[in-house]
């Protein structure tokens, strides 16, 4: 049966192919078209690039972006303690909780939350309690590779980006305006 009432959706963009954050950005643009306020919380610092950061500024005051990540975890130049990364990710969850309970943002984007979960920076319970506390009318978008199966189960809309071809495979580096 078709229900015409508006319902907050839990949207998950996952998979190895390019386009997860891009898809979330597309929803941001659409929401701004209705003059909605949108909050983006970035769980892995650096996951949003110069181009979109500048673009989002042009969408102010409707759109705000908060970076809570402490940079890349466990790779070459990562000198931070794991617990610093965990504290930053927890801060992101708390920020999301406040933003959502404030009721001013019909659309909230939790960028790379699935990655924060996969890395063990936050635990399933942190996210479950956040989702449980989310009002029925609020839309939530979670991006990142390796979304856990329970999140996929719980979501209303899940799209898995599949890498069919990526210029990187042909030795073509990230392009301005396309990747950053």
Binding site for Mg ion (CB under 5 A): 20-21
Distance in angstroms (rounded) separating the CA atoms of residues 95 and 81: 22
| Single residue of 5, 7, 17, 149 touching ligand ATP by CB under 6 A | 17
Angle at 115 between CA 75 and CA 13, to 5 degrees: 135
What's the count of helices (H) and strands (E) in the chain, helices before strands?
A: 6, 6
The answer to whether 166 contacts ligand ATP (rule: CB under 6 A) is: yes
Which of 42, 47, 86, 114 touches ligand ATP by CB under 6 A? 47
Q: Of ligand ATP, Mg ion, none, which one sits near residue 84, judging by CB under 5 to 8 A according to partner kind?
A: none
- CA–CA dist 45, 42 (Å, integer): 7
Of the candidate residues 90, 97, 145, 154, the single one contacting ligand ATP (CB under 6 A): 145
Report DSSP letters for 118-138, one per residue. HTTSS-HHHHHHHHHTS-TT-
Told to check if 94 binds ligand ATP by CB under 6 A, we report no
| Least distance in angstroms from the C-beta of 48 to ligand ATP | 8
Nearer to ligand ATP, 50 or 150 (CB): 50
Give me the half-sphere count of Cα atoms (radius 13 Å) on the Cβ side of residue 119: 25
- 45 lies in the site for ligand ATP, by CB under 6 A: no
**Pick from 29, 152, 157, 174: which binds ligand ATP (CB under 6 A)?**
174
Burial 34-64 (b: 16+ CB within 10 A, else e): eebbbbbbbbbbebbbeebeeebeebeebbb
20 binds ligand ATP (CB under 6 A): yes
Measured distance CA(75)–CA(115) in Å, rounded? 14
- Residues 94, 104, 124, 179: which binds ligand ATP (CB under 6 A)? 179
Residues in the chain: 180
Total chain residues near ligand ATP (CB under 6 A):
16
Q: Residue 78 Cβ, how far from ligand ATP at the closest point, in Å?
A: 16
Kindly list the residues in this chain that would bind ligand ATP in the complex (CB under 6 A). 16-22, 47, 143, 145, 161, 163, 166, 168, 174, 179
């Amino acid at each position: 049966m078709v229900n015409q009432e508006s319902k907050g959706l839990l949207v998950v963009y996952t998979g190895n192919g390019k386009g997860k954050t891009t898809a979330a950005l597309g929803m941001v643009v659409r929401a701004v078209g209705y003059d909605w306020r949108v909050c983006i919380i970035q769980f892995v610092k650096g996951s949003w690039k110069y181009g979109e950061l500048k673009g989002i500024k042009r969408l102010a005051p409707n759109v705000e972006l908060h970076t809570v990540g402490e940079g890349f975890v466990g790779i070459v130049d990562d000198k931070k303690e794991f617990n610093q990364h965990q504290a930053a990710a927890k801060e992101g969850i708390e920020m999301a909780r406040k933003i959502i309970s404030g009721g001013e943002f019909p659309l909230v984007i939790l960028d790379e939350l699935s990655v924060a979960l996969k890395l063990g920076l936050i635990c399933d319970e942190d996210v479950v309690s956040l989702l449980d506390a989310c009002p029925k009318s609020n839309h939530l978008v979670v991006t990142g590779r390796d979304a856990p199966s329970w999140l996929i189960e719980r979501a209303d809309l899940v799209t898995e980006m599949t890498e069919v071809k990526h210029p990187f495979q042909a030795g073509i580096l990230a392009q301005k305006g396309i990747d950053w």
